[in-house]
Amino acid sequence: MSAQHEIPTDRLYLVVGVTGHRDIAKEDEAPLRAAFATALSELEAKIPHTPLLVLSGLAAGADSLAAEEAIAKGVPVIACLPMPVDEYERDFSSEERMRFRTLLAACSRVTVRSDEREKGYVETGLFIAHYSHLLVAFWDGDESRGAGGTADVVGMRMTPQLDAAADVANIPYLPDLGPVWQIVTPRANGARPSDAYAIKRLYPKRFLHDETVEHDFGVILGRIDLYNVDLSQTPPERGTTGLEALMDRTDAAANRLQRLTNFYQMLLFACAFVAAAVQIIAHLPSLLKAIGLLAAFVAYWLARKNDYENRYQDYRALAEGLRVQRAWDAAGLQRQLVDKAYLRMQEGELQWIRMALRAFFLLCCEDQTAVAEDRRLYETWVDAQWAYYRNRSSVLMANKHWLDRIGYAAFGLGVASTILSAVLLAERGQLLCALFETCAPPASTILMNLLTVPVTMAVILETLFSNYNDRQNLEGNARRYQRMYHVFENAREQLHAIDQGRPGNPKEIVLTLGRAALIEHADWLIMRRDRPIRVVLV
Q: Are the C-beta atoms of residues 313 and 532 closer than 8 Å to each other?
A: no
Residue 372, number of CB atoms within 10 A of its CB: 7
> Furthest-apart CA pair in the chain: how many Å?
112
Residue 138, helix vs strand vs coil: strand
Please give the full DSSP string across 321-346, using - where no structure is assigned: HHHHHHHHHHTT-TT--GGGGSSTT-
Nearest to 472 by CA among 409, 390, 535, 533: 533
Residue 17, number of CB atoms within 10 A of its CB: 29
CB neighbours of 266 closer than 8 A, spacing ≥ 6?
A: none
Q: So where are the chain's domains?
A: 3-211, 386-504
Spatial separation of the C-alpha atoms in residues 377 and 242, rounded to whole Å: 14
Q: Which architecture, in CATH terms, is 3-211?
A: 3-Layer(aba) Sandwich (3.40)
C-alpha pair distances (Å), 363 with each of 7, 10, 338, 358 = 8, 10, 14, 9
Torsional sign, CA 188, 190, 194, 196: negative
pLDDT tens sequence across 85-140: 999 999 999 999 999 999 999 999 999 988 888 788 888 998 999 999 999 999 99
Q: Residues in the chain with pLDDT < 50? A: 1-4, 162-171, 432, 434, 436, 440, 442-443, 535, 537
pLDDT tens sequence across 397-417: 887 777 777 777 777 776 776
Strand partners, 77: 54
Global confidence as pTM: 0.83
Amino acid letter, residue 180: V
- CA end-to-end span of the chain: 65
Spatial separation of the C-alpha atoms in residues 306 and 230, rounded to whole Å: 12
